[in-house]
A and B are shown apart, each in its own frame.
Chain A
Amino acid sequence: MTFPSGTLLAQSALSGVFIGSMYGLLGMGLGLAWGLLHIINLAHFGFAFLAAYLCYQLASVGGIDPLLTLALIIPLFFALGMAVQWLLSRFSVSPLNSLLATFGLTAIIEAGIQYFWTADFRKLESVYSGQKLRVGGLFVPVPELLTLVLALVLGFSIWAAMRYTNLGRALRALAEDAPMAAAFGVNRRAHALLLAGVCGALAGIAGVCLALSFTLTPSQIYAWVGVVFAAVMLGGLGSPLGPVAAGMVVGVSEAVTMAFASPSWAPIVSFSLLIALLLLRPGRT
C-alpha cells in the first residue's frame, strides 16, 4: 500500500463529506419518525426517489429549475407524510409492523416509478450539473455542495425548533411519555401528523438532491437503505443533526479507505466502525 498524496486524500475526504451529507439528509426524516413517532418508515426511501423522479420530470420536461421544483415537492410530500402517518395510526400499526407495512409501500412506489418512467436510467441535466468550484487544488461540485448546505441548514433548523419552541418541546415530551404529555394538553394526533409531514417534506428535499447528483433508476431505492440506517442508528434516533454528523463519519471513513486501500474494503470499515461505536458508546443498554 502506497501512501496517497495530500490532494488525493483531501479530495477523497471531501467526496466522503458530500456523500455523507446525502446519507444524513436521507436519514434525517427517517430518524425523526423512528425516534419520535416510533415508526420505522422504509417508505421514506421510496418517497425520496419519487420526489427525485418528479424533480427530473418537472425540470427536464417542464423546463423548471430543479430547485424551484421544491415549491411543489415540499407541500406534496408533506401531505404524503401526513397521509401515511394517518393510515398507520388509524390501524394502530406497531413499530415492527410499520417496518413491514412501509416496506410494502416502498415496493408499490418502486413499481409506480417503473410504470411511469420505466426501469431505464434517468439523468437530470440541469444548469447545476457540470458546475464546480475550485478551492486550492480541490474541486467542489455545486450539486453536492447544495446537498451539504441543505443538510446542515435543515439539521440545525430542526434541532433549534425541537429545542427552543413549544412545538419541539411537545414533540419531545410525546416521544418520552405520550400519556403524560397528553395529560398536559399536548394533542398527540395533531403533533404526530405534523412531524410526519415534516419527515415527508425532508424526503422530498433529499429526493431533489438525489436528482441533482445521481443517475436515477427505480431499484436504486434499496441501495441506500443499509448505509442510511447505519447513519441513523449511529447518529441517534430522533436527532436531526445526529444522522448528518454520523453520515459524514461513515462517508469520510469509506472515502479515506478507498484512497488508501481497495474500494471494496470501504463497507467493511464503515460497518465495523458502526458496530464498534454502538458497542462502546456510553449509556448503551
Chain B
Amino acid sequence: MRTGHRFTRGLGVALCSFALLATGAHAQGTQAPIRIGSTLALTGPLAATALVHKVVGEIYVEQLNKRGGLLGRPVEWIVRDDQSKPELARTLYEQLLTVDKVDLLMGPYATGAILSAMSVAQRYDKVLIHHTFGIPSLAKYDKQFPAWSLGPDPANTVPTTVFTALAASPKPPKTIAVVTSKFPSVHFMSLGAREVAKKRGLNEVLFLEWDFGNLDYGPIAARIKDAKPDFLWVGALGLEGNQLLEAMNKIDYAPAEHFYMYPAPGPMSKSPLAKNALSMTMFEEHPPFTNAAGAKEFIDLYHERAAKAGIPDTSVEVQAAASYTAWQILEAAVRGTNSIDDAKMAAWLKANRVETIQGKLRFDGPSNYGDDLMRVKQVQNGRWVTVYPKEYAAPGATLLVQ
C-alpha cells in the first residue's frame, strides 16, 4: 500500500515536472526571440581574430538558450561582416537598429570598429558592451561597457605591471629598447612604456616607430641588435611580433628579454623563436582562471568548435576570454534588471559588479573602466603561462630570463 502511494506520488511529481518543462519550452519556443545585433570583421585583415569572437558568441548564445534564454525568451544573434572596415561597421550597426530592429547590441572586434559602433549606439541611446576596446580615453559614451579590462589609464598601469614583474625577476633589465607599430591602440601604450621606463630609471637605448603594414623588418632587427638592450618592448599588433622575431633570427640575434603588446597568440606561442617572450593577459587555460564558474565547460567547448572552424590555435586566451566576458556582462545586465531596457541596464552595470571568467568587473571608473586586470604571461614550452603576479601564475611557473 505504502509502496503504491509512493509510486503514485512519484508519478505525480514526474508528470508535473514534465508539464512545467514542456510549458517552459513551449513558452520559449513561441515567444519572439530577443535579438542581439553585432558586426565582426569576418573578412579583411582582422578576420583571423574576429573568427575567435564569432566562435565564442555562437557558444555563448547556444549555452544561453540551453539555460532558457533571457527573460523566458530565446536569444538570436545577428552578426554581420564589417570586412575590418570601421566605416562599414557604422553603417551595419545603423541597419541592425533600423532595419533588423534588434533589441540589444554587442560590440564588434577591434578599436576602430568599436568606436564606429559606439557612435551609432550613442545616437540611439543603446547599451554597447564591447570586447576589445584598446584606448579607454576615447570611450566617451556613458552607456558603453568594456570587457577588455585595461583600467582607465593603461598606458601607465600596463607598463608598470610589466616593469614590476621584470624588477622582481632574477635579472632585472637596466637598458630598454622600445620599438612600436604606429597602430593607435599599441602606439599609445608604447609611449606610456617609455615614460614609465624613464621614471623607473631604465636607460632607453633605442626608440623606433614603423607604419602598420611594414613589410621589411630586417633594418629594424639590425638596429635592435646594434643597440643591445637588456629588455625589448615591442608595440606589435598581430603578426608584427612574429615578423620582427623572424627578422632578428635571420641576423642571428635573440633578445634577452622581450615583450609584445598584442601578439597573434597562437603563432607566437608556437614559434621556437618566441622562447620566454612576454605579453599581457587577463585569462589563460590554467588555474586560478580555470576555477571561475563555467570556465572549464567553455574551454572544452571552445577547443571543439575552434577546431571545427579551422582555427589553428584552439586554446582560450585573452581574445576568447574577453569575448566570453562581454556576453557574460550582457546577460548579467538583463538578468539584473529583468528587462532589456537600455537605460535600466546601463544604470545597473554602473552600480553592480559582474562575475566573469576574468574575475569580478566593475564599471564605475572613468569611461566606465574599472580595474586593470592585465597580468604578465610568458611563452614557456610552446604555450602561454601567466607568470606575474604570483597569485595568478600557472602552478609552478615563474618569470624565466635567458
Question: Among B216, B223, B242, B247, which residue has its beta carbon within 8 angstroms of that of A121?
Answer: B242
B267 CB to closest chain A CB (Å) equals 5
Per-residue interface assignment for chain B, residues 227 to 269, with 1 indicating a CB less than 8 Å from any chain A CB and 0 otherwise: 0000000000011001100110111100000000000101100
Do A263 and B214 form a contact, CB below 8 Å, given A4-B223, A118-B310, A258-B223?
Answer: yes
Do A219 and B252 form a contact, CB below 8 Å, given A5-B226, A120-B266, A227-B215?
Answer: no
What residues of B have a CB within 8 angstroms of the CB of A16 in the complex?
A: 216, 218-219
Within 8 A of A (CB), among B189-243: 208-211, 213-216, 218-220, 222-223, 225-226, 238-239, 242-243
What residues of A have a CB within 8 angstroms of the CB of B184 in the complex?
A: none
The answer to whether B215 and A223 touch across the interface, beta carbons within 8 angstroms, is yes
Name the residue on A nearest B251 (C-beta): A139
Name the residue on A nearest B253 (C-beta): A139
What residues of B have a CB within 8 angstroms of the CB of A121 in the complex?
A: 48, 238-239, 242, 264, 266-267, 312
A29 CB to closest chain B CB (Å) equals 19
The answer to whether B210 and A263 touch across the interface, beta carbons within 8 angstroms, is yes
Q: How far is the CA of A134 from the CA of B252 in the complex (A)?
A: 10
The answer to whether B43 and A111 touch across the interface, beta carbons within 8 angstroms, is yes
Q: How many of chain A's residues have a CB under 8 angstroms from any CB in B?
A: 46
What residues of A have a CB within 8 angstroms of the CB of B400 in the complex?
A: none
What residues of B have a CB within 8 angstroms of the CB of A264 in the complex?
A: 182, 209-211
Report if B45 contacts A (CB, 8 A). Answer: yes
B5 CB to closest chain A CB (Å) equals 62
Question: Among A4, A218, A227, A254, which residue has its beta carbon within 8 angstroms of that of B226?
Answer: A4
What residues of A have a CB within 8 angstroms of the CB of B48 in the complex?
A: 118-121, 217
A260 CB to closest chain B CB (Å) equals 9
The answer to whether B216 and A132 touch across the interface, beta carbons within 8 angstroms, is no
Report if A130 contacts B (CB, 8 A). Answer: yes
Report if A126 contacts B (CB, 8 A). Answer: no
The answer to whether B215 and A224 touch across the interface, beta carbons within 8 angstroms, is yes
The answer to whether A258 and B242 touch across the interface, beta carbons within 8 angstroms, is no
Number of A-B contacts (CB under 8 A): 124
The answer to whether B210 and A255 touch across the interface, beta carbons within 8 angstroms, is no
Report if B44 contacts A (CB, 8 A). Answer: yes
What residues of B have a CB within 8 angstroms of the CB of A106 in the complex?
A: none
What residues of B have a CB within 8 angstroms of the CB of A273 in the complex?
A: none
Do A120 and B312 form a contact, CB below 8 Å, given A114-B47, A262-B209?
Answer: yes
Q: How far is the CA of A258 from the CA of B251 in the complex (A)?
A: 16
Q: How far is the CA of A254 from the CA of B48 in the complex (A)?
A: 29
Within 8 A of A (CB), among B89-118: none
Report if B70 contacts A (CB, 8 A). Answer: no
Report if A35 contacts B (CB, 8 A). Answer: no
Name the residue on A nearest B222 (C-beta): A11
What residues of B have a CB within 8 angstroms of the CB of A223 in the complex?
A: 213, 215
Per-residue interface assignment for chain A, residues 109 to 136, with 1 indicating a CB less than 8 Å from any chain B CB and 0 otherwise: 0110010011111110000001010100
Do A255 and B239 form a contact, CB below 8 Å, given A4-B226, A118-B51, A130-B249?
Answer: no
Q: A-B pairs with the 8 shortest C-beta distances? A: A15-B218, A119-B47, A258-B219, A263-B210, A12-B219, A219-B45, A141-B250, A19-B216
Pull 28 A–B residue pairs with CB atoms less than 8 Å apart, ordered by A: A5-B226, A7-B226, A8-B225, A11-B251, A12-B219, A14-B218, A15-B218, A15-B219, A15-B247, A16-B218, A16-B219, A19-B215, A110-B43, A111-B43, A114-B47, A118-B51, A118-B310, A119-B47, A119-B48, A120-B48, A141-B250, A215-B243, A217-B48, A219-B47, A223-B215, A258-B210, A259-B223, A262-B209
